Amino acid sequence: MKTIKVNIVTPDGPVYDSEVNMVIAKTVTGEMGILPGHIPTVAPLVVGAVRLDSDKQTELVAVSGGFVEIRPDKVTILTPSAETASSIDLARAKEALNRAEQRLQSKQSGIDFKRAELALKRAMNRINVKEGNI
């Protein structure tokens, strides 16, 4: 089966580098399935899981937005943060989820709701990827 190279890169460095059969990424306009030979494209990503299918396994990587650049032989994802399921600290993500929920329910003035909503999405995404729930 044909393969395509995948790199997931953050400002802190590379998080994933491998050859896979298919990549499924969540773009702002919906889910995109990427196979070897895909036409060149760039698309913005939402906070979500990237699924990487190879002969041996299916892996999930949590990404917090950014962009996917597709070339026929290579997929590059540039994102502010990314974690493989094994590197996610579940307790930390649950704490972040609680904090964000409290902020969103708070009646105090000065709450940045957009920021809390994004933190909530990142935390939920990490929990889902860690638990294999996507």
| Nearest approach, Cβ of residue 111 and ligand ATP (Å) | 16
Instruction: Please tell me the distance from the alpha carbon of residue 131 to that of residue 134, in angstroms, as a whole number.
Output: 9
| Nearest approach, Cβ of residue 130 and ligand ATP (Å) | 8
Relative to beta strand 22-27, strand 30-34 is: antiparallel
Query: Nearer Cβ to ligand ATP, position 71 or 121?
Result: 121
Burial class, 114, CB count within 10 angstroms (exposed 0-12 / middle 13-18 / buried 19+): exposed
Query: Nearer Cβ to ligand ATP, position 31 or 117?
Result: 117
- What is the number of residues in the chain? 134
| Nearest approach, Cβ of residue 125 and ligand ATP (Å) | 9
Query: Nearer Cβ to ligand ATP, position 19 or 101?
Result: 101
| Nearest approach, Cβ of residue 32 and ligand ATP (Å) | 22
The answer to whether 129 and 85 are in contact (CB under 8 A) is yes
Show the tokens assigned to 77: 């994802």
Instruction: Please tell me the distance from the alpha carbon of residue 78 to that of residue 131, in angstroms, as a whole number.
Output: 24
Query: Nearer Cβ to ligand ATP, position 71 or 99?
Result: 99
Q: Catalog residues that contact ligand ATP under the rule CB under 6 A.
A: 12, 64, 81, 83, 87-89, 92-93, 96, 119, 122, 126
